[in-house]
Amino acid sequence: MLNRIIINKNILLKKLSIRNINNNYLSWLKDTSLKKNLVHINFDNIEELKQYYKRTINNKNLIFFGIFYKSKHIGNLKFENIYKNSKNASWGILIGNKKYRGKGIGNEVLSKSMRYLEDKYNIRNFIISVTHSNKNARSLYFNLGFRKFKFQEGKIFLIRRSLPSKIILGSANFENIYGNRKYSVNQKSIKDILEYAKNNGINLIDTASNYGKSEESLGKNNIKDFDIISKLPEIEKKVNVKKFVENCLKGTLYKTKRKKIYGYLIHNPKDILSNNKKAILKTLNLLKKQNKIKKIGVSVYEVEELKKILKVFKPDIIQIPINILNQNFLKKNFLKKIKKKGIEIHGRSIFLQGALLKYRNTSQGRILKKKMKKVDTLCKKKNISKIGLLLNFADSIKEIDKLVLGIDNMKQLKQIIKCNENPYLIKGYKSLSTNNKKIIDPRTW
């Protein structure tokens, strides 16, 4: 069974040992501010606590971690029903040391540990119960993608579905004609899509100031439960770079009716390789310090492009194209090397702007149809949807934290959410890859 998970340079999850069962641990359980939320937990002395530990640690489908901050034991995290292909696993967390509460530690510990276990054991859902009065915990769990699914014996039961919690809703076609699909989503459909996305654990929306009315259309809706990722447009010639960047972000915040956004990505990678790079990075980092941006990053198309950028700066987020045909970023363990740098990886073009789902009657469409023949045959043989197969291919890449998915309607979003229930991964997928830019790079279409 798993013994440790590294969360960051300061925080480590380590299998709890008998020496950790001490007065420090017991004092947490007697803390009145915590006790009201700890159901059926009542220990009078160390011996009772040790007996509980021994009973718990012997469960082969359970992982009992201590949360250690710079080697100091500050809390515990317990996962239950952990085994390969577990449909529903559960957990409980306790930040026992008062000094470390309210600092975002619980959020980071849970998001990274659940993601790790989802990948390692192919777990589809995580479940937690919470008391109605524990508003802070409910808020934390909602932000992690948990949603209420039942109320029983005075407790609220929440579920986090692994796939929806990774999805970033692409909004490039919200009241805007975008890309290969040539389809614009109207305001009524946008409202319905956002409501359904929120109720199913999707917390992030991807947009950009040059996606037509996309940002404005989001601002017309209630998006307080979503975080936003937007993009800095190409730097215009002969402008004051600092003012340009500041004004672009100001416009995004105004249109989306936000005071801050989760991520701001450099849309044109050439900008970060130009003479403007120092001014761009200085301004973005200043905006980050001002708490207007949580994370800065870059959107790229090619591996070599990203390699050059990483020599200039280390982004918080990178957005890359990845799909069954475009597997360039998977070669030579490139993504594993990126992940070791602590960079958040977002995959896009999962359906290649819809071109992998519906082949257009063009030369490019006919090439795609020929290349995808094996996939189409497999879908028919196994009676699985192509959306499900393509999505689960991207979802199986452990290094990718989030998947940006553009949709045309509610039906597509429902199909995507349903894929969480019946995962399927194609075997021998490497043989389907191609380096032909006329196929995999929409800029050449």
What pLDDT score was predicted for residue 365?
85
382 plus 435 within the same structural domain: yes
For residue 436, give every residue at least 6 positions away whose Cβ sits within 8 Å of its Cβ, in sequence order, or none: 367
State the burial class of residue 180 (Cβ atoms within 10 Å of its Cβ: 0-12, 13-18, 19+).
Answer: middle
191 plus 133 within the same structural domain: no
What gap in Å lies between CA 361 and CA 256, rounded to an integer?
37
Low-confidence stretches of the chain (pLDDT < 70) are 1, 35-41, 179-182
**Range of 141's domain?**
4-160
Q: Which CATH number does the domain housing residue 348 bear?
A: 3.20.20.100
Other beta carbons less than 10 A from residue 87's beta carbon: 10
151 plus 203 within the same structural domain: no
18 plus 94 within the same structural domain: yes
End of a domain among 129, 160, 191? 160
The three-point CA angle 185-190-191 to 5° equals 155
What pLDDT score was predicted for residue 37?
64
N- to C-terminal Cα separation, the chain: 49
177 plus 131 within the same structural domain: no
Strand partners, 309: none
How many separate domains does the chain show?
2
What pLDDT score was predicted for residue 362?
81
What pLDDT score was predicted for residue 439?
83
148 plus 219 within the same structural domain: no
28 plus 84 within the same structural domain: yes
Q: Which CATH number does the domain housing residue 91 bear?
A: 3.40.630.30
232 plus 294 within the same structural domain: yes
For residue 54, give every residue at least 6 positions away whose Cβ sits within 8 Å of its Cβ, in sequence order, or none: 18
End of a domain among 140, 160, 180? 160
What pLDDT score was predicted for residue 132?
82
Other beta carbons less than 10 A from residue 121's beta carbon: 17
What pLDDT score was predicted for residue 36?
65
304 plus 261 within the same structural domain: yes
Amino acid at 100: Y
End of a domain among 142, 160, 178? 160
261 plus 125 within the same structural domain: no
424 plus 297 within the same structural domain: yes
What gap in Å lies between CA 412 and CA 409, rounded to an integer?
6
236 plus 155 within the same structural domain: no
